Amino acid sequence: MSPVRERKRPAVHVDPRRGLLRTGRWSLRYDPRAVLVCVLLAALAALAMVLALGTGTYELSPAEVVRTLFGDGPPGAGFVVLDLRLPRALVAALVGFGMGMAGAVFQSLTRNPLGSPDIIGFGNGASAGALVAIIVLDAGATQTAVGAVSGGCATAAAVYLLAWKRGVHGYRLVLVGIGASAVLGAVTNFLYLRADIGKAAQAASWTIGSLNARDWSDVTVAALGVAVLGPVVLGYTRRLTMLEMGDDTAAALGVPPERSRLILLSAGTGLTALAVAAAGPVPFVAMAAPQLARRMTRAAGPNILPAAWTGALLLTAADLATQRLTGSALLPVGVLTGVAGGAYLAWLLRGERRGARL
């Protein structure tokens, strides 16, 4: 019998200074600072989730929360943490992750810090679709999610077609989207007027953006967007970077501009719609996360993963803050993100004016 020869596995070489990882014939470039920022943001988001899981009438320390998650918590803590609080915390992290990623896509495509899905109407389209399901069709959670996705996709298609003129360009997309947002706001008000008081109250608590009474079905909806559409966005990150340089440059580098833009818009719209279906239209997270991520990484380009982790941290921290401020989970998280987002928008506009860009 001939001796069995072991196949040598290709060695993995990591060069942190150059941001290069090599294994065999393959190599991957990365930004060491961006990786560090992502790790820190993920750690802070996990800490915020642990603190939120221990907040409430049945108070738990962070150590007790961690032990409960591993099946060794105090008596009764398993039901409170795993069944009541964990779905809410996971929805906050997943929705923030998806909104941050979608915001980075839209701001990169429009080359405008105001080009986030909640400003240019895509979030409002998803919200209007969900309201039609709630108020008109008296739908449940699954049908509401379908309505949100349908509304978001229909709005994206309408905005894309109206903004088309030998291609779709940033400022035109933003302006058409703001107009679509105004129209959808009128549609939403009309639906409220036609609804009875019970459905109107249910819809109002949902449309402000809330994590109250989230369950595992909402976790599934939010996770579906991140798991299915997140890899699509990451796979097109290089093309997105090329599109930031302009269509002519992207085409010269072998990137088909309109096809790439359409795929990225579809993925970003899907992420937004599924996030809205899970938690409602939480304002300003998609707008603030990419800008904050860019300032932390100090890197050009879309910063997809840093923006996603920034969104996760923003929403989990906002969820923790609402529970600590009120002593309960009754305050919708959208109230806090709306107030903080309004202050951030004023600061952003002030910076644009100082830079003579506005």
How big is the chain, counted in residues?
358
pLDDT at 1: 46
Angle formed at CA 272 by CA 243 and CA 104, multiple of 5 degrees: 35
- What are 122's two structure tokens? 């895509």
Q: How far is CA 51 from the centre of its chain?
A: 21
Per-residue pLDDT of 309-336, as tens digits, reads 999 999 999 999 988 887 655 778 888 8
Name which of 137, 195, 182 is nearest 155 in CA terms.
182
Q: How far apart are CA 162 and CA 172, in angstroms?
A: 9
Per-residue pLDDT of 209-244, as tens digits, reads 888 878 898 899 899 989 999 999 998 888 888 888
| Number of helical H runs and strand E runs in the chain | 15, 3
Q: Which residue has the higher pLDDT, 287 or 300?
A: 287
Structural Rg of the chain based on CA atoms: 22
Q: How far apart are CA 50 and CA 65, in angstroms?
A: 7
pLDDT at 202: 72
Q: Which residue has the higher pLDDT, 236 or 141?
A: 236
Please give the average per-residue pLDDT across 107-136, as a whole number.
Answer: 82
SS (H, E, C) 67-121: HHHCCCCCCCHHHHHHHHHHHHHHHHHHHHHHHHHHHHHHHHHHCCCCCCCCCCC
Angstrom CA distances, 76 to 82, 85, 328, stand at 10, 13, 19
Per-residue pLDDT of 105-115, as tens digits, reads 998 888 877 77
pLDDT surpasses 80 at 22? no
Whole-prediction pTM: 0.86
pLDDT surpasses 70 at 195? yes
Q: How far apart are CA 85 and CA 219, in angstroms?
A: 12
Q: How far apart are CA 203 and CA 287, in angstroms?
A: 24
pLDDT surpasses 70 at 125? yes
